[in-house]
Structure 1
């Protein structure tokens, strides 16, 4: 549609309206010969009321959004919102929709009630209904068409501004930011797994600028990245050497490619795991160039199965801890000690992937046993692999410990450069490992504080929160006992006793209530069970209780159902 050639006082030209300037392709008018003129006559005057980009960028909210997000992004949002409103107007006109229905259409576009903002004086779509200079004279008790016109223009401007605000709100939720993990799953993969300790956070901040990442301050010479952690890991595991990469999948890939490419690696069928994000161990094998030789069955694999599979092309036996599932019942699998003996008897490498990266004896803390680095090293494994952000309680990392000759081969492989970790992860991991060396991990690491909190303490905190919000309108709250998994590919089948705050809203269903909590000023990620929203305190540190109270008060203050 070309810009109208009528009186310029009736509204801005297409070049001044959002999304219709040079370089932008305007949506064409309907091609139907009978409808084309009707659509133009009905829609054109209403479209002329669309505010220009210049008008919109002077709006106080838009000014603030430009400061926060930049002019380019906000202008894109303006054009998109204007195009949405414009399309609704055209569709209504093309279908002969009365303007009362058009008001309803705009309600659907904006998610808000436009009410009488669409001027009823324009309902017939005749030229006499649109303002021009001859229409300034009105009777004392009449409302001039120009008044309707200005109301219509103001409505469109506010609708576009509100749409831009909604886009900014949505974009903000897409950014990486702080949330309260109220799912009860302490090692929640989607929420970043293990929370970092205060010491780890401080360590990250301390190396934000220049740091001795690969530099020896005593000699003034370059060092291998991660040398600061080698001593910590060898002390804690009794291994000869150590290497850190960016995650345990990378540790597995590097190990297979550097030591086993082109040769066979024997593994039990019951250990061909799939890790998060649908990544499967056979795919890592394929990528590494190592040949997968699976033995036994899903539920039972014996030492004799490994023995029969060994041949001239065999490079290693790989044992993988099934850290995200457990086979129970009629099941059998050799321990790492047995596999080490078989491997070394045949001159092969024994590689143990313990998955969750545990460093300590968990039963001593009342938790189920998990394999540890130290146990596998003591059993004679040549290399032991594990994660840094699971039961170790640190940042995401792949930890490799073992014999010096094997670790050195990995360190010198070209792939090691591709999967190395950055200085921030090094700092956080070093601070985490130091708590184990000091023996203070149970007190200092948030992971252990969350895992080891007694249920009775959680119930007391839940009651204290509910006492502060019980009288709030529209929100019903109750404290319940429950259980929660550990998560994060750790302690499969283990459920910890917990306390939950069960929420119901007088108007909103559970899914909408949960969304309100996730997207509010205080962002809480709960879980839903039996049509109730549950705030599970197993995964919430005590210092966040006040934030939960604030979030629930803000929730109760919202009186209208959420517009979608």
Structure 2
């Protein structure tokens, strides 16, 4: 290698790794994030110094700017899609009460200890009690890690080696290529399909019952809707026609009680009161809590599920139990707040944001825009609302910003729908748009 007689070889000016890591600011970051993450950031900055992008005396500041906010790769995102329960964005955002409960439960807790007696206590008793208070038609409940797990546990405990009776029109795909019949058959149950894709009667169900029947299932079709020449059998009609065979209803979205904006969405309380023996639902959809599968209903059936060996593999951890209890007992969770958002209020927010942005030279206007429940809930019930409309070119840089903002494209414009954005985040949303305008336009 040719020697540089003037000593200006940039490689000679790159700060040493150990020197950078010894800086007090980076040492503190190492205690918070772990030495490995900090060292990776140091090496990236050293490469930028070699390339002449960063001055050697600015290396520490550059490393600090490179460091993630936490040791996790997950990044907080502003959901401006208008989809309240967005699967790709983590479904329900947790309430502050739920977040505080997770933090408190993150250390050692009394999750299975009775502090009075010093003996082992029932796991998650407080969360179960909160769930039963919210759904008084249920005698008992258990919680597993998602609704598909709940369905798999029920199918295994009640249907393994037996028949599960299910309407053909409810053999749906639940997302990412997973299909209800495949999930059920994987448990060792045999499916007995009744009716046709568009029509099923109570006599179809009755005719399928026999000594091999383990249970009758009703599965909420979620995003799948059949219109026209159709017929379905409601839970109340079916419950009185099964002669003691358990009726299990998967209601999907986790709505506890009827909601005025979602008149056709099934809820746990009404479904149990109508005669279902067990109901299954998600905790991270319209309930607004953590990812969980809820099973509520007859005490003897719930106990049968609790004692099944598969339950041990599917049960939730202490942080989920804590978040679920706080969601049920605490203030209105964000999902419920977003559902209840006043349309005039959304329009006022959109106008204020658009005025602020246009005043800074951004092509921004307030527009009316429908939003959606998401997560398979209420697919035919759009929610009126408002959005800020920006040029289409803003969509990608907003997603890639320091605080990613996810909107959507419509009619060659980027829309930031405010129903799925907390009002407290409006200033942050405006700052993200202004940063894109500064850097990219």
User: Which structure: greater helix fraction?
Assistant: 1
* Superposed CA offset, 1:305-337 (max 9, x none): 222222331111101111222222211110012
SS in 2 for 1:370: coil
Work out the CA distance in 2 between the residues paired with 1:557 and 1:503: 14
Maintained 8 Å contact 2:170/2:221: yes
Structure scoring higher RCO (CA < 8 A, sep ≥ 6) equals 2
Decide which of 339, 354, 363 is 1:466's aligned counterpart: 354
Q: How do 1:331-350 residues align onto structure 2 when only pairs under 5 Å count?
A: 331-343=230-242, 345=243, 347-350=244-247
| 1:550 aligned residue | 431
1:554 positional shift = 1.8
Decide which of 308, 311, 314 is 1:413's aligned counterpart: 308
SS in 1 for 2:103: helix
| 1:21 aligned residue | none
| 1:294 aligned residue | 193
* Superposed CA offset, 1:473-511 (max 9, x none): 3x300110111111111112110111010011xxxx53x
Matched, 1:317 2:216: yes
Decide which of 369, 373, 385 is 1:498's aligned counterpart: 385
Decide which of 539, 550, 556 is 2:420's aligned counterpart: 539
Matched, 1:213 2:102: no
| 1:175 aligned residue | 73
Work out the CA distance in 1 between the residues paired with 2:212 and 2:130: 36
* Superposed CA offset, 1:51-101 (max 9, x none): 48975648979988896676766777898999xx9xxxxxxxxxxxxxxxx
Q: How do 1:443-462 residues align onto structure 2 when only pairs under 5 Å count?
A: 444-462=332-350
Work out the CA distance in 2 between the residues paired with 1:50 and 1:237: 72
Classify 1:158/1:207 alpha carbon distance in 2 versus 1 (closer, same or farther; 3 Å).
closer
Work out the CA distance in 2 between the residues paired with 1:59 and 1:220: 51
Work out the CA distance in 2 between the residues paired with 1:253 and 1:409: 14
| 1:484 aligned residue | 371
Q: How do 1:13-32 residues align onto structure 2 when only pairs under 5 Å count?
A: none
Work out the CA distance in 2 between the residues paired with 1:254 and 1:359: 21
Work out the CA distance in 1 between the residues paired with 2:281 and 2:214: 21
Maintained 8 Å contact 1:56/1:157: no
SS in 1 for 2:247: strand
* Superposed CA offset, 1:381-417 (max 9, x none): 2211111111112111111111111111111111111
* Of 239-248 and 60-69, the range deviating more from structure 2: 60-69
Work out the CA distance in 1 between the residues paired with 2:214 and 2:79: 44
Matched, 1:389 2:291: no
Work out the CA distance in 2 between the residues paired with 1:481 and 1:173: 39
Q: How do 1:116-515 residues align onto structure 2 when only pairs under 5 Å count?
A: 155=51, 175-235=73-133, 236-343=135-242, 345=243, 347-363=244-260, 366-435=261-330, 444-473=332-361, 475-504=362-391, 510=393, 513-515=394-396
SS in 1 for 2:276: coil
TM-score of the aligned structures, taking structure 2 as reference length: 0.87
Work out the CA distance in 2 between the residues paired with 1:457 and 1:387: 30
The gaps in structure 2 that reach 5 residues or longer are: none
Maintained 8 Å contact 1:317/1:339: no
Work out the CA distance in 2 between the residues paired with 1:289 and 1:50: 66
Work out the CA distance in 1 between the residues paired with 2:51 and 2:247: 72
Maintained 8 Å contact 2:17/2:43: no
Work out the CA distance in 1 between the residues paired with 2:100 and 2:51: 50
1:355 positional shift = 0.7
Work out the CA distance in 1 between the residues paired with 2:399 and 2:241: 52
SS in 1 for 2:311: helix
Work out the CA distance in 1 between the residues paired with 2:99 and 2:273: 32
Classify 1:320/1:10 alpha carbon distance in 2 versus 1 (closer, same or farther; 3 Å).
farther
Work out the CA distance in 2 between the residues paired with 1:10 and 1:285: 75
SS in 1 for 2:363: strand
The gaps in structure 1 that reach 5 residues or longer are: 13-48, 86-109, 111-152, 436-440
